[in-house]
Amino acid sequence: MTIKKYPTLILNIETDKTKRLATLLQRGFLVPCSSAVSLYDLLSDLPGFDHDYITSRIETIFINGCAGDSLDQLLIPGNTVALSAAMPGLAGAIFRKGGAHASLRSKPMPTNHPQVKTSGFITLKLFNMIATDTVESLLERGVLIKGSTLARFFKTRRESLQTLLIHIRQGNSFLSMDEAIRLAKSQPTLLLKKQSH
């Protein structure tokens, strides 16, 4: 990941409170991608996703809004992938990868679908335990996120963020929440990292 060309925001977080930022990962972060890559290979390059975790924890895969069954599914720039651990009830049975009820759902659209726009990124959305398990390691390395997505997250979670953030910093400058929101709105993409205190 090339990080020099992106403005960087550092979140200084109270110790042991990083998992409370897991909902940010539901909104989607950007994984640089210049050519077709399997879902497995995409994930294995990310912190927190080793072979055992990928193959045993991920139960539900959505690619461009349609449920998928294979970690070998090829992705291309512009795709959006959502991952979840086991879901309860009938929904879980229908959407579980390789499940007995897989025939009840739609198939992922082909990677050469004409509506998919090449953007240089794959958008990855993580839900439930997948987000909670990986948020710390992902934020330690840093995640690329659309400025508009980050601004909405800051605005809607302002009160809860104030209980876990010590400060927000860009370089040597400390930012108020309003300043961080304005910066996020002004940038198409930012690198978001965490620093525990």
pTM score, whole prediction: 0.83
Closest CA to 77 of 13, 32, 143, 136: 32
Q: What angle do CA 64, 27, 9 make, to 5 degrees?
A: 130
Calpha distance 76→110 (Å, rounded) = 10
Q: Is residue 1 included in any domain, yes or no?
A: no
pLDDT grade for 90, boundaries at 50, 70 and 90: very low
Mean pLDDT, to the nearest integer, of 117-145? 92
- Range with lowest mean pLDDT among 27-41, 76-90, 98-112, 144-158: 98-112
Q: What are phi and psi of 21, to 5 degrees?
A: -95, 5
Q: Is residue 19 included in any domain, yes or no?
A: yes
Q: Is residue 63 included in any domain, yes or no?
A: yes
Q: Is residue 87 included in any domain, yes or no?
A: yes
Q: Would the pLDDT of 127 be above 50?
A: yes
Mean pLDDT, to the nearest integer, of 61-82? 93
Average pLDDT, the chain: 85
Number of H helices and number of E strands within the chain?
A: 8, 12
Q: Is residue 3 included in any domain, yes or no?
A: no
What is the tens place of the pLDDT at every residue in 31-65? 999 999 999 999 999 999 999 999 999 999 999 98
Q: Would the pLDDT of 29 be above 70?
A: yes
Calpha distance 89→170 (Å, rounded) = 44
Number of domains in the chain: 1
pLDDT grade for 69, boundaries at 50, 70 and 90: confident
Q: Is residue 72 included in any domain, yes or no?
A: yes
Residue 170 pLDDT: 95
Calpha distance 63→33 (Å, rounded) = 15
Domain range spanning residue 137?
Answer: 8-196
Residue 4 pLDDT: 52
Handedness of CA 194, 2, 158, 179 (dihedral sign): positive
Mean pLDDT, to the nearest integer, of 10-25? 93
Q: Is residue 2 included in any domain, yes or no?
A: no
Q: Is residue 79 included in any domain, yes or no?
A: yes
Distance of CA 125 to the CA centre of its chain: 4
Mean pLDDT, to the nearest integer, of 84-109? 50
